[in-house]
């Protein structure tokens, strides 16, 4: 499996998927510090800038997987939730255009598998940004509108172009000590690929997969988490210097970059490259996906792809 990672950040996907034997086709990242991290750890992997410039490139046809977390600031409270009025929010639709370009270039080959991640706020912005994105992914001419006017935490839609499923996953249930709820989307046009088999555990599926149907699922069972010294999982740590935690003695102290790496599931000192500032490390880690969640998704994709072999 070869994957094209866009809005790569510091590459949680690669840290998670390298043990599976998957190969990075290319990264795409514009921020200076994450680019330095990628160059330091993966000097032999192609590093692109703006991913919107990739649609005309012939080599993207070799991407078996397209993975990315388009900028979340447009959908977060901290970013004032300007949604699709924000150029960063519109990158979600550029992500769909890139996926379509890859599938068009692959022609007789199977379509690419799409993995997309974003903040929980994308489900609740007033302009129905998630419905616009999800409708475009499955190939609808119009945005999808959730039943009852509110997006649920999980579901699936079959459209004219692709099948796609979404689910809210919380990193604390995958072995890290922070509550980090994010929306994950898995989609593909492949006949032999069912996103529901990846995102949902079979025993908890409800209903039947039919054209246009949605499958809702309750929150997943806690499978264990690493706790802090206070015995509780942390809330999402800040991307800014100065975030505090309380240790077992009851004195507040600053959280350290290496602790942020552990909270996200990265190896110790992964971001501690030459001349790295703590500020840059905090920001890059705060914007990253959680490695254990990506590892779980990769294993689920691999298992599903190997089921008939």
User: What is the average pLDDT across 7-22?
Assistant: 97
What stretch of H or E contains 106?
helix 87-106
Q: What is the pTM of this model?
A: 0.82
Question: Residue 82: inside a domain, yes or no?
Answer: yes
pLDDT score at 226: 26
Distance (Å, rounded) from C-alpha 262 to C-alpha 146? 36
Contact 198, 304 (CB under 8 A): yes
Question: Residue 254: inside a domain, yes or no?
Answer: no
pLDDT score at 203: 58
239 CB neighbour count, 10 Å cutoff: 17
More reliable by pLDDT, 13 or 83: 13
Distance (Å, rounded) from C-alpha 258 to C-alpha 267? 9
Is pLDDT of 164 > 90?
yes
The domain that contains 30 carries what CATH number?
Answer: 3.40.50.150
With cut-offs at 50, 70 and 90, classify the pLDDT of residue 141: confident
pLDDT score at 196: 95
Q: pLDDT tens digits for 249-276?
A: 777 777 899 999 999 999 999 999 999 9
pLDDT score at 131: 87
Give the residue among 158, 156, 151, 181 at the shortest CA–CA distance from 166: 156
Could you tell me the residue range of the domain that residue 21 belongs to?
2-220+289-305
Question: Residue 277: inside a domain, yes or no?
Answer: no
The structural domain count of the chain equals 1
Question: Residue 80: inside a domain, yes or no?
Answer: yes
Which 3 state secondary structure label does DSSP give 145? coil
Catalytic residue set: 72
Question: Residue 301: inside a domain, yes or no?
Answer: yes
Question: Residue 156: inside a domain, yes or no?
Answer: yes
Which 3 state secondary structure label does DSSP give 168? strand
Is pLDDT of 309 > 60?
no
Question: Residue 270: inside a domain, yes or no?
Answer: no
Output the furthest CA–CA distance in the chain (Å, rounded). Answer: 62
Is pLDDT of 236 > 60?
no
Question: Residue 140: inside a domain, yes or no?
Answer: yes
For residue 152, what are its two tokens?
């649920």
Distance (Å, rounded) from C-alpha 130 to C-alpha 3? 24
Compute φ and ψ for 119, nearest 5 degrees. -70, 160
Distance (Å, rounded) from C-alpha 31 to C-alpha 42? 16
């Amino acid at each position: 499996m070869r994957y094209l990672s866009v809005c790569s950040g510091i590459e949680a996907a690669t840290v998670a998927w390298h043990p599976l034997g998957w190969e990075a086709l290319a990264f795409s990242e514009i921020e200076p510090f994450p680019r330095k991290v990628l160059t330091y750890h993966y000097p032999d992997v192609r590093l692109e800038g703006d991913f919107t410039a990739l649609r005309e490139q012939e080599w993207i046809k070799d991407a078996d997987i397209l993975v990315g977390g388009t900028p979340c600031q447009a959908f977060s409270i901290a970013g004032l939730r300007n949604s699709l009025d924000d150029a960063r929010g519109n990158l979600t639709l550029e992500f769909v255009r890139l996926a379509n370009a890859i599938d068009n270039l692959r022609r007789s080959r199977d379509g690419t598998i799409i993995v997309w991640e974003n903040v929980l706020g994308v489900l609740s912005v007033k302009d129905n940004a998630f419905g616009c994105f999800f409708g475009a992914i499955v190939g609808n001419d119009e945005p999808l509108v959730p039943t009852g006017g509110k997006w649920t935490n999980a579901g699936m839609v079959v459209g004219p172009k692709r099948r796609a499923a979404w689910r809210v996953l919380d990193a604390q249930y995958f072995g890290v000590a922070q509550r980090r709820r994010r929306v994950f989307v898995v989609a593909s046009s492949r006949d032999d690929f069912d996103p529901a088999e990846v995102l949902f555990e079979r025993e908890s599926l409800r209903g039947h997969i039919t054209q246009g149907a949605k499958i809702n699922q309750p929150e997943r069972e806690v499978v264990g988490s690493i706790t802090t010294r206070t015995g509780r999982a942390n809330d999402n740590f800040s991307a800014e210097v100065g975030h505090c935690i309380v240790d077992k003695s009851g004195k507040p102290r600053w959280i350290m970059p290496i602790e942020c790496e552990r909270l996200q599931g990265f190896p110790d000192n992964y971001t501690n490259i030459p001349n790295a500032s703590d500020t840059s490390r905090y920001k890059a880690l705060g914007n990253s996906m959680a490695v254990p969640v990506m590892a779980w998704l990769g294993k689920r994709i691999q298992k599903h792809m190997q089921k008939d072999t």
